[in-house]
Amino acid sequence: MVKVFFLIGVFVFTLNAEPWRETKTFILKKDEFAKIVIKSISPQLERVFFWRWTLYTDKKLVVHENFDRVVGQHMLDLDRHQAFHKRLLGAVKSERDVPYGLVVFKKFDDVNKTAQFDFFLIDRENRIKADYVSKEAKK
C-alpha cells in the first residue's frame, strides 16, 4: 500500500514540476547585450528578446530588457529577488502551456566587472525554438 501512495506522489510531483527545456549561461559586461531570437513554430513568427545591465551596487543589479519592442526594467538582488520571467507566446489551451523564459542573476564578478545570467526556456508543448546569438557590445 505504501508503494502505491509513493507512485501516486511521484506521478503528481512530475505533473506539477516546471522542467526547463534548455538553458544557456551569459556573462556580460556593462551595456553588453544577451540576445535570443525566438521562433514560434505555428504560426511562424520571429521575435527578439534581449537584455543588458547598467548598474551594480549593494548586491543589486539594474537590468533593462526588450522583447518584441516592449521594454522593461528590473532590479535584481543577489540576496532575494534574483530573476525575472518573460512570456514568449500566448496561451492556446490553458495558462500551463505558455512558453516563457526565466532570466536568473547568478553572480557578479567584482574583478572583471561582469554579471553572470542563466536563461531557462520553459516550453512544455515545444511551441518555440530559441537561437542564442552571442553577446553584442553596445554601439
Q: pLDDT tens across 63-110, in order? A: 999 998 899 999 999 988 899 999 998 777 767 778 999 999 999 999
Nearest CA to 122 out of 82, 88, 94 is that of 88
The whole-chain average pLDDT of the chain stands at 84
Range of the domain at 126: 20-137
C-alpha cell at 22: 534548455
In a domain, 78, yes or no: yes
Q: Which three cell numbers stand for residue 76?
A: 535584481
The residues, ordered by sequence, that sit 6+ positions from 92 with a Cβ below 8 Å of its Cβ are 125, 127
Query: 3-state class of 47 per DSSP?
Result: strand
Domain assignment present for 69: yes
Count the domains in the chain.
1
Question: For residue 7, is it within any domain?
Answer: no
- Say if 92 falls within a structural domain: yes
Q: Say if 87 falls within a structural domain.
A: yes
DSSP codes of every residue in 60-119: EEEEEEEETTEEEEEEEESSS--EEEEE-S--SS-GGG--EEEEEEEEEETTTTEEEEEE
Summarize pLDDT for 17-26 with one digit per residue, the tens. Answer: 557 788 999 9
**15 within domain boundaries:** no
Q: Who wins on pLDDT, 37 or 14? A: 37
Residue 6 lies in a domain: no
- pTM here? 0.79
The counts of H helices and E strands in the chain are: 1, 9
User: Would residue 97 count as lying in a domain?
Assistant: yes
